Amino acid sequence: MNQTWTDENTELLRELWREGFSAAEIAKRIGGVSRNAVIGKVHRLKLDVHPNAPLVEGNRHPAAPKRISSNKGNRHIKLNKSVNPHPVEERPAPIPAPRLLELSLLELENHNCRWPAGDRAPFTFCGHRVDDGEVYCTYHCRVAYVPRELRVKRAA
């Protein structure tokens, strides 16, 4: 499915999009293009988003049925916003972020924290002292590893 966008296909895309057809349906009608190609073209053309986007592919937007909320299976339970789902006492006490030593890869030794200090060259690392058996300092261990109890509680 590698077709270039002709003026005719682009105009048909604009027309079908205005009428509310889904990207998959437009791709089928144009032929030779994928749903993702249609979505990409829509973004490049900066076409308006459908006001009534369907929940199911293939439906025309104007005819899309309105969703009726139900509590079957407790899927749509509203949370009481006054209750904090993650109380402060469950979280470890905050540790101030250390000033990074910014050691290069060649300067790192076994006792240095290997937390990356950026994502562009030149690559450097935190460099603070680590506990035995760890690769990160105390601060970066708290950032990198969430205790199992908190992961379970957050998922619930």
Across the chain, which has 156 residues, the per-10-residue mean pLDDT values are: 80 90 90 90 84 49 50 53 54 69 87 86 87 86 78 68
Residue 47: the pLDDT is 85
CA 130 to chain centre: 31
Q: What is the three-state SS of 78-99? A: CCCCCCCCCCHHHCCCCCCCCC
- CATH code 1.10.10 for 1-65: yes
Gap between the Cα atoms of 108 and 77, Å rounded:
50
SS3 41: helix
Position of tokens 């890869």?
105
All structural domains of the chain with their residue ranges: 1-65, 93-156
User: Which residues face 103 on adjacent strands?
Assistant: 125
